[in-house]
Amino acid sequence: MTQSDATPLPDKYRALRAEKTDSGVQVSLQTLPLSALPDGDVTVQVTHSSLNYKDGLAVSGRPGVLRSYPMTPGIDLAGTVLEDRTGRWQPGQGVILTGWGIGERQDGGYATLARAHADWLVAQPPGTDARWAMSVGTAGFTAMLAVMALEEHGVTPGDGEVLVTGAAGGVGSTAVALLAAAGHTVVASTGRAQEEAYLLGLGASRVIGREELTALNRPLEKERWAGVVDSVGGATLAGAYASTRTHGALAVCGLAGGSDLNASVFPLILRGVNLLGIDSVTCPAPRREAAWNRLARDLGAGKLAAVTQERALSDVPTLAGEILAGQVRGRTVIDVTR
């Protein structure tokens, strides 16, 4: 298909809009003219988005996520290209967009149309579809980056237990599944004891309560973890960091439990522990492509069925409160067409 074969752009589209009013931030489904789309090279017909913790904050009107108003939240999207002024992407091509400030500084995925820069997009891996991509979403993509970082810093199956914190959430669930599939012995940490069977089903060898980590408050604790994927931060990260084994590594990618890190340098200088920051927002394109291709290989649609639910765009305001309250398990795909 050539650019001249492109389907004409629709005159209108539907979006979940966040607006600031005298009584606070309000969200509503609106029908908008095409001119409401932001600047960008590529117009995408969006079919699916997803629900992340950051989306919950944005839709609930919490400060610090949306940088201006009105704004369409949604930090993930997948769909097909309608038009690309650069010629890089062909009409009808399946694409994925996560990060780069969409749903924060620029209108995001909770809409049936989106506009973006050409170099922000990643091609849909062969054999996958938009629903699969959003069952992975930013959470799964971040988990994959974390697993890759641990591997690149020498954490291999057989080295010892690998800890995943916030294990029942989107990042944690995917990290447990990916690490188990790669042959690691995975310990899942969660504040939701009722999710033990779910986490064992994903491949965890055992499940511990988050209080086991928050109780570790000495600069150096007994060595336990060969590697850590942490999506919680705060006291949970501090405890995991203090108990990581010599030459182990921690991939840090979240702050659901707090942004502070009250710890010492001792694990770094006495054990050679690697503290690795995971940035999924501005991750370079080659690494993005590598991560998505590996996700398609290691985490196909069938493997995600147990951790995924699908909901309508109209359900997002309710779901936002639920994810902030820790009541959402695994991944939630948002069908923006309904």
Rounded Cα gap, residues 262 and 217, in angstroms: 9
Which amino acid, 15?
A
pLDDT number for residue 6: 56
The predicted model gives 180-201 an average pLDDT of 95
Both 190 and 87 in one domain: the answer is no
DSSP conformational letter for 284? -
> Which CATH number covers residue 104?
3.90.180.10
Both 94 and 155 in one domain: the answer is no
Both 148 and 238 in one domain: the answer is yes
End-to-end CA gap in the chain: 28
Both 145 and 120 in one domain: the answer is no
Domain hosting 29: range is 3-124+301-335
Pairing of strands 76-84, 42-51: antiparallel
Structurally, how many domains does the chain consist of? 2
> Which CATH number covers residue 260?
3.40.50.720
Which segment of 40-54, 240-254, 295-309 scores lowest on mean pLDDT? 295-309
Both 109 and 163 in one domain: the answer is no
Q: Is 178 exposed, middle or buried (0-12, 13-18, 19+ CB in 10 A)?
A: buried
Cβ–Cβ < 8 Å for 103, 110: yes
Instruction: Specify if 282 maps to a domain.
Output: no
Both 114 and 227 in one domain: the answer is no
DSSP-derived 3-state class of residue 7 = coil
Both 255 and 317 in one domain: the answer is no
Both 143 and 267 in one domain: the answer is yes
Both 149 and 263 in one domain: the answer is yes
Instruction: Specify if 133 maps to a domain.
Output: no
Helices (H) and strands (E) in the chain, counts: 10, 15
Instruction: Specify if 286 maps to a domain.
Output: no
Both 209 and 320 in one domain: the answer is no
Both 150 and 114 in one domain: the answer is no
The confidence band for 141, taking pLDDT boundaries of 50, 70 and 90, is very high
Q: What is the mean pLDDT of the chain?
A: 94
Both 183 and 96 in one domain: the answer is no
pLDDT number for residue 1: 44
pLDDT tens digits along 43-87: 999 999 999 989 999 999 998 899 999 999 999 999 999 999 999
| 298 CB-near residues (< 8 Å, 6+ apart) | 178, 181, 182
Cα 91 to Cα 6, 83, 137, 139: the distances in Å are: 5, 6, 22, 27
